[in-house]
């Protein structure tokens, strides 16, 4: 991680991130104007920072154009369907950018390691995936696949933080804890996944997220560099002056709340 990446402070981080967010805004504008479909998959270790990087990408974008998809455990009906079916339902339409917080690779990761899928199911999914992704890519979908890396010592540190901070406890599931004994199994599962699905038409990209801020910048920079040129000429736009004084809010039935005064409240309890 070079010369003290942990030292990248909030301010420095934002200063590097924000120009990239502007570029992302340009990507979104380009997708809207061309009808491009962009799908980005985020996979990786527990605690590696999938949710955070997705937030950094979507934060400034139009929520009607950019969707995050974080599917639940399948229902019984879904479990009986074609494995890819519930993911297909979430693919982007023309002009959309969709971010998958976990994806069809679930089966090759947590399901494989924790035994929620049997080896035949895992093999079948790995064998089918290149053809499935080929169909999407041949159809013009722009597909990006990122795997976020994190050493176990750092992962342990984050688990402890989640344990100790009640407001991060939702991030800590029983499966996460059980997974602690399987760090190397996840590594093996990842390598099997790469071997089967790192293809010319849909390659994987690994990003080191031992430093989350640095990881986000690295990932977003890579994503931007791989997207087609996205300069869309924006027609100049006229805002002629109003022909009247600017109006003010006025209230009949109910008035706004008094503004928050900055005083902490007693916690409800």
Q: Name the residue nearer to a copy of itself (CB basis): 41 or 61.
A: 61
Name the token pair of 66: 């950019």
Q: Which of 6, 9, 34, 75 binds a copy of itself (CB under 8 A)?
A: 75
Under rule CB under 8 A, residue 134 binds a copy of itself: yes
Confirm if 104 and 196 have CB atoms less than 8 A apart: no
CA distance 91 to 74: 17
64 binds a copy of itself (CB under 8 A): yes
Residue 116 binds a copy of itself (CB under 8 A): no
Q: At what angle do helices 212-226 and 10-34 cross, to 10 degrees?
A: 30
**Which residue lies nearer to a copy of itself by CB, 113 or 227?**
227
Interaction between residue 123 and a copy of itself (CB under 8 A): no
Number of residues that bind a copy of itself (CB under 8 A): 132
Q: How far is the CB of 115 from a copy of itself (least distance, A)?
A: 20
Q: Among 159, 189, 202, 212, which residue sits at the site for a copy of itself (rule: CB under 8 A)?
A: 159
Number of H helices, E strands in the chain: 10, 5
User: Of the candidates 46, 179, 151, which has an alpha carbon nearest to the alpha carbon of residue 102?
Assistant: 46
Residues in 213-242 at the binding interface with a copy of itself, rule: CB under 8 A: 214-215, 217-219, 221-222, 224-225, 227, 229-231, 234, 237, 239, 242
2-to-7, 165, 251 alpha-carbon distances in Å: 11, 29, 58
């Amino acid at each position: 991680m070079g010369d003290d990446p942990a030292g990248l402070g909030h301010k420095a981080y934002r200063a590097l991130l924000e120009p990239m967010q502007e570029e992302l805004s340009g990507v979104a504008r380009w997708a809207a104007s061309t009808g491009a479909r962009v799908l980005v998959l985020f996979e990786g270790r527990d605690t590696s920072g999938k949710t955070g990087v997705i937030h950094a990408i979507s934060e400034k974008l139009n929520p009607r154009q950019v969707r995050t998809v974080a599917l639940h455990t399948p229902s019984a009906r879904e479990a009986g369907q074609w494995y890819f079916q519930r993911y297909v339902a979430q693919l982007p339409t023309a002009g959309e950018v969709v971010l998958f917080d976990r994806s069809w690779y679930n089966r090759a990761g947590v399901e494989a390691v924790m035994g929620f899928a049997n080896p035949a199911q895992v093999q079948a999914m790995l064998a089918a995936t290149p053809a499935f992704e080929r169909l999407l890519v041949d159809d013009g979908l722009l597909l990006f696949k990122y795997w976020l890396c994190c050493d176990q010592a750092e992962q342990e540190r984050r688990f402890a933080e989640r344990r100790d901070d009640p407001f991060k406890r939702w991030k800590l599931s029983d499966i996460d804890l059980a997974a602690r004994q399987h760090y190397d199994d996840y590594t093996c599962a990842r390598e099997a996944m790469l071997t089967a699905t790192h293809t010319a038409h849909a390659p994987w990209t690994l990003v080191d997220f031992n430093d989350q801020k640095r990881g986000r910048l690295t990932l977003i920079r890579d994503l931007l560099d791989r997207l087609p040129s996205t300069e869309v000429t924006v027609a100049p736009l006229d805002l002629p002056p109003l022909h009247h004084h600017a109006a003010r809010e006025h209230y009949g039935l109910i008035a706004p709340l008094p503004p928050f005064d900055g005083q902490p409240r007693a916690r409800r309890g």
